[in-house]
Structure 1
């Protein structure tokens, strides 16, 4: 066996080792990125819930505020008219003629009607806003609960996010060293397949791709088993190579 042939085989073995290390690291980075998304999602969800409650409370409080203002104005009208009734009664008591008496009486009746109208309107407003006031009370309780939950977990989640980002950066830096051990063409193929499949490499020990579980053409399998080779699975297109079963040892 020529030294050149053995060197070529060792290069292929080294490329396979680099691919395995790269795939393992990419899997770890993917897990870290998923954890980052999850942790950030927890914070975002809590903050979004608070924002929605703030928006709802702003609208409902404005509705209640407008109702209270209108109710206060009605109550002010009632107080003013009550005072006017006292003046009308005095006028009625001082009346000297039937005409004066009738006029004072009509004035009293009109004032009493106006007061009833104002009181009925105030009662209607209370009824119409009762559900809104209840919603405000419920939303304020929920806002308090979420605010307390956010305050309790925000610091912890922020620390986790910072650590996960640091871990991802550290592994990303280590990835560059592995990539340098691969031919550029092979690395580009790896990245293209990883983008489509998530996992770019596969192994065969018995003639079956361990990722898509499809049987390899016998000729391809025998070639992979006979000597170190890097090929692609005809079914899933992943980079595939032979891996001896754990009980065997192949040089």
Structure 2
């Protein structure tokens, strides 16, 4: 294979790689959109699960306190009866102290019940807001998922075709040159560069004059001393678009 043919094959391979990168970026963008919606929905569902469990715990604690309040009311009635049956001042004072302690405990429990009720109501309102947000995201996901999946399928099909094209293009190159191209591409994003004026069009660094003269004199493949890309000469009139550094 002549150097000219190698250059054409490298250009063909680099063009396919550039298209594959665009397609992969499109796939990543579409997948990211779906993943973001699904992730947001999952977070909201996890929050709803946690908040509902919290409300259940609040309701249970409140229910336990309500039962305790009923018992205290019964104890208060019993203490009143004891005070009414008191035979002397000492028994009356003892019953009165017991009654006051029970009333204090009762007020504390009722206050706790009030706080729990307020907290539960606030949590329920929060759940309503979260449910509304989750419903909105779910609807957005439902409306976009089909379109995105369709676009993903289309881009995947294009990518598969270009992967086949790449395999064909890669086989045209000598194995040693292909391996060098892949090593450079894996580090730099692109594997080739052109020059038409003594400057590497990939990294925009000036080439050593002796190297540039060699490249211009005859078809030749070398490497840019600055970016290490495989470099070759193209006439200014026929210069391709510069290969941008990744």
TM, length-normalised to structure 1: 0.80
> Does the alignment pair 1:218 with 2:209?
yes
Query: Which residue pairs with 1:200 in the alignment?
Result: 191
RMSD across aligned positions (CA): 2.9
Task: Give the 3 Å change call, closer, same or farther, for CA 15–81 of structure 1 in structure 2.
Answer: same
* Match 1:234 to one of 221, 225, 229: 225
**Which digits, 9 at most, give the CA deviation of each residue in 1:171-215, with x for residues without a partner?**
000111111211111111111110111111111111111111122
The residue matched to 1:182 in structure 2 has which SS? coil
The residue matched to 1:246 in structure 2 has which SS? helix
**Which digits, 9 at most, give the CA deviation of each residue in 1:35-92, with x for residues without a partner?**
1111111211222222222222222221211111111232344455556767877x58
Instruction: Measure, in 1, the Cα distance between the counterparts of 2:190 and 2:9.
Output: 15
Instruction: Measure, in 2, the Cα distance between the counterparts of 1:174 and 1:96.
Output: 104
* Match 1:178 to one of 169, 178, 199: 169
Query: Which residue pairs with 2:107 in the alignment?
Result: 116
The residue matched to 1:214 in structure 2 has which SS? coil
**Which digits, 9 at most, give the CA deviation of each residue in 1:119-153, with x for residues without a partner?**
11101223455554444333222222222221121
* Match 1:56 to one of 47, 56, 59: 47
Query: Which residue pairs with 1:29 in the alignment?
Result: 20
Structure 2 spans left out of the alignment, 5+ residues: 240-246
Structure 1 spans left out of the alignment, 5+ residues: 1-7
Task: Give the 3 Å change call, closer, same or farther, for CA 241–80 of structure 1 in structure 2.
Answer: same
TM, length-normalised to structure 2: 0.82
